[in-house]
């Protein structure tokens, strides 16, 4: 990817463009670093040192930043993440306020599903469009091993509640781990098809708090597709249909159901990336794997005007690197884990 010759953004175009001509239109907003699961590929059993209340953005600060992004910087999609975003007390109000913005962004939520049974209807009424729910296994005992919590039934009930509330398409995100659930890909897809969920497998990424990720032995996109093809006929969608989406998708047995694979490690999609990320403590990240952040919280709390915050955001995105660096032998994991960054 060759960078064009440009001057840095100033008061010019109201878009988040970088030096590789990529324009960010998709904002991922982490609402909390806390989670009520302890997934082995994310954090240790005892949890982490959570952010203090004063470090977290307030509801009003989050809404203000989203408003600036939508009305001044060309953001058209907002994804609420965590940690576990359903643990944020003001979530419904945040969604409702963002749904009132003009232009109205499309809004989705990535969740472990545990609290969806009680919140799905309220979130839909507030204006949320759809959800992504993490579920790595159909086996309650394996779920307990993977997450260190006995909440499998709650996730299934949350998925059903989301579908019934109209938070569709309901997408299910699954990570396969060697020796635990690496044999479940065909069963997960059959279940997703039967329940009208769109399944997406995600390669395990080097974002665990323990820094225990190893490339050797990880379940790759190739492994997943080979397993699925033992039971299903898969036909790939073309690149035009994929656009900037992180998931490569295939139709299943002629359609209409589809399955996706997000291969961040073995098939990176950095060239088409259209995402910008806001952490729960008000930092802009240009990439999940970035080791640098830009502080917007300080600007907010020093009464900076919207135009100055927009300028800082544009400058941050201007510095986005060509790729994640995963293929570089000198790659280092980010200091902050997935739970702090927002997926």
- The rounded average pLDDT for each run of 10 residues, N- to C-terminus, in the chain (343 residues) is 56 80 96 88 74 94 98 97 94 98 97 96 98 97 94 97 97 94 97 97 72 72 96 88 80 95 85 94 92 95 97 96 76 70 71
Is 171 annotated in some ligand binding site? yes
Is 39 annotated in some ligand binding site? yes
Q: What is the pLDDT of residue 5?
A: 46
Is 35 annotated in some ligand binding site? yes
Q: What is the pLDDT of residue 207?
A: 60
Is 41 annotated in some ligand binding site? yes
Q: Which residue in this structure is represented by tokens 């005892």? A: 46
Q: What is the pLDDT of residue 336?
A: 73
List Cβ<8 Å contacts ≥24 apart for 181-185: 181/136, 181/137, 181/139, 181/142, 181/146, 182/219, 182/223, 183/227, 184/137, 184/138, 184/139, 184/142, 185/224, 185/227, 185/228
Is 98 annotated in some ligand binding site? no
Alpha-carbon gap, residue 175 to 204, rounded angstroms:
6
For the CA atoms of the chain, what is the radius of gyration?
19
In this structure, are residues 276 and 317 in contact, taking their beta carbons and an 8 Å threshold? yes
Per the confidence metrics, is the pTM higher than 0.75?
A: yes
Is 270 annotated in some ligand binding site? yes
Is 163 annotated in some ligand binding site? no
Q: What is the pLDDT of residue 329?
A: 67
Contacts of 186 (CB under 8 A, 6+ apart): 227, 228, 230, 231, 232
Q: What is the pLDDT of residue 204?
A: 82
């Amino acid at each position: 990817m060759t960078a064009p010759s440009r001057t840095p953004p100033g008061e010019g175009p109201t878009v988040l463009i970088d030096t590789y001509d990529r324009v960010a239109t998709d904002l991922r907003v982490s609402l909390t670093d806390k989670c009520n699961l302890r997934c082995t590929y994310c954090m240790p059993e005892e949890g982490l040192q959570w952010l203090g209340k004063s470090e977290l953005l307030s509801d009003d600060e989050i809404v203000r930043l989203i408003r600036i992004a939508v009305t001044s910087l060309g953001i058209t999609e907002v994804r609420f993440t965590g940690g576990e975003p359903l643990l944020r007390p003001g979530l419904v109000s945040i969604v409702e306020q963002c749904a009132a913005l003009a232009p109205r962004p499309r809004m989705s939520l990535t969740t472990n599903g545990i609290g969806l049974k009680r919140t799905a209807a309220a979130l839909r009424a507030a204006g949320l469009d759809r959800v992504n729910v993490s579920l790595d296994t159909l086996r309650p005992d394996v779920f307990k091993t993977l997450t260190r919590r006995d909440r499998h039934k709650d996730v299934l009930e949350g998925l059903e509640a989301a579908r019934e509330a109209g938070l569709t398409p309901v997408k299910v995100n699954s990570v396969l781990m060697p020796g635990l659930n690496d044999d479940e890909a065909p069963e997960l897809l059959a279940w997703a098809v039967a329940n009208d969920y769109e399944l997406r497998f995600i390669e395990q990424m080097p974002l665990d708090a323990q820094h225990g990720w190893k490339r050797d032995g990880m379940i790759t996109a190739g492994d997943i597709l080979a397993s699925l093809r033992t039971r299903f006929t898969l036909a790939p969608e073309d690149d035009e249909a994929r656009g900037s989406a992180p998931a490569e998708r295939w139709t299943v047995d002629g359609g209409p159901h589809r399955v996706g694979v997000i291969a961040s490690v073995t098939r990176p999609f950095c060239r088409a990336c259209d995402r910008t990320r806001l952490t729960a403590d008000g930092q802009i990240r240009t990439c999940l794997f970035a080791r640098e952040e830009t502080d917007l919280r300080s600007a907010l709390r020093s009464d900076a005007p919207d135009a100055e915050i927009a300028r800082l955001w544009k400058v941050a995105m201007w510095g986005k690197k060509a790729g994640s660096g995963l293929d570089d032998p000198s790659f280092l994991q980010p200091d902050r884990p997935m739970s702090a960054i927002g997926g």
